[in-house]
Amino acid sequence: MAGPDDVLDAAVACWSARRVAAGDAVRYPDPPQRLDGIEAAIHA
C-alpha cells in the first residue's frame, strides 16, 4: 500500500503536469540553465 507521502507526491506530480500541459506553469530560471547540453529548470 502507498503511504500518505506517496499519495501526496503523486497528486503534486499530476497537478504540475496539468499546469505544464496547459501552459500555465512558470519556469525557474527563465531561460533555463544548460547542463551538459540539457535544459535544466523547475516548472511550478
| pLDDT tens sequence across 28-39 | 999 999 999 999
DSSP 43: E
pLDDT at 43 over 90: no
Q: Are 16 and 25 in contact (CB under 8 A)?
A: yes
- Count up the domains in the chain and report the number: 1
User: Chain centroid to CA 9: how far?
Assistant: 11
- Tell me the average pLDDT of the chain: 93
- So what's the pLDDT on residue 12? 93
Instruction: Identify which of 28, 26, 22 has the alpha carbon closest to the alpha carbon of residue 41.
Output: 28
Domain range holding 31?
Answer: 4-43
Residue 44: its pLDDT value, please?
82
The answer on pLDDT for 18 being more than 90 is yes
* Whole-prediction pTM: 0.65
